[in-house]
Amino acid sequence: MSNVSGQADTKAEAMLVVRDLRVAYGRIEAVRGVSFTVEQGQVVTLIGSNGAGKTTTLRTLSGLLHPTAGAISFEGERIEHLPAHRIVERGIAHAPEGRRVFARMTVQENLDLGAYLRHDHAAVESDRDRAYELFPILAERRAQAAGTLSGGEQQMLAIGRALMCRPRLLMLDEPSMGLSPLMMQRIFTTLAALKAEGTTLLLVEQNAQAALALADAGHVLETGRIVLSGTATELLGNDRVRKAYLGED
């Protein structure tokens, strides 16, 4: 386990390698030298309080923000200065915080937008059926406007939409935010199924207990820096994590 920012292992063979990433909003540096890796088939979680830099990190990895310094490599290629649609083409999908579904479009239209860069129409239909298999409630409501869905159903739709581009890396930002305990359990059961299928996940989640129960490894962010890294088991057993993020005395 490491407790020094920037000390995460950056193996060249990892699917995603982030080195000394720095991101600023004007003069305010929100991410300060973050380094970590994600191996193929691995689930990695970033945990921390509001304002720690978790969402900014994901937005930068997906091309919605550009770093002021550092490097991001995906499958051996540098991507930190690519536009967002080129990053999607390379196989990274991002289900953002707040779901961001298209409220006036139907469930099916939202799903199909996730495949807008694809031209393999038969495979798109197959992947849509797979999304409905993962989230049966979406199949029941495929012709319903997405804005009329519950928060949990919109989260399912956001994940399903991200899966429609057949990502090799799926990034999820706060998938349990605002959900009932039952709906959160359903979402994490689906994420566990995706993990079992070999899907590579990078998960930002304030519910550290749920995130670490799913993850292989994790990193704790505080004020834009990684202050603690380790396997999920190590972090679950760490006194600092248990007191600050698991609500234990």
Give burial (CB, 10 Å; 0-12/13-18/19+) of 77.
exposed
CB 169 within 8 A of CB 15: yes
- The backbone torsions φ and ψ at residue 59, rounded to the nearest 5 degrees and listed phi first, read -65, -30
**Can you tell me the distance from the alpha carbon of 45 to that of 249, in angstroms, rounded to the nearest whole number?**
23
So where are the chain's domains? 16-100+167-245
**pTM of the model as a whole:** 0.87
DSSP 2-53: B-STT-S---TTSSEEEEEEEEEETTEEEEEEEEEEE-TT-EEEEE--TTSS
**Can you tell me the distance from the alpha carbon of 58 to that of 54, in angstroms, rounded to the nearest whole number?**
7
Tell me the pLDDT tens digit for each residue of 195-215.
Answer: 999 999 999 988 899 999 999
Tell me the pLDDT tens digit for each residue of 74-116.
Answer: 999 999 999 999 999 999 999 888 668 889 999 999 999 988 8
Residues 6+ apart with CB under 8 A from 210: 176, 184, 188
CB 173 within 8 A of CB 48: no
- Fold for 16-100+167-245, please state it: Rossmann fold (3.40.50)
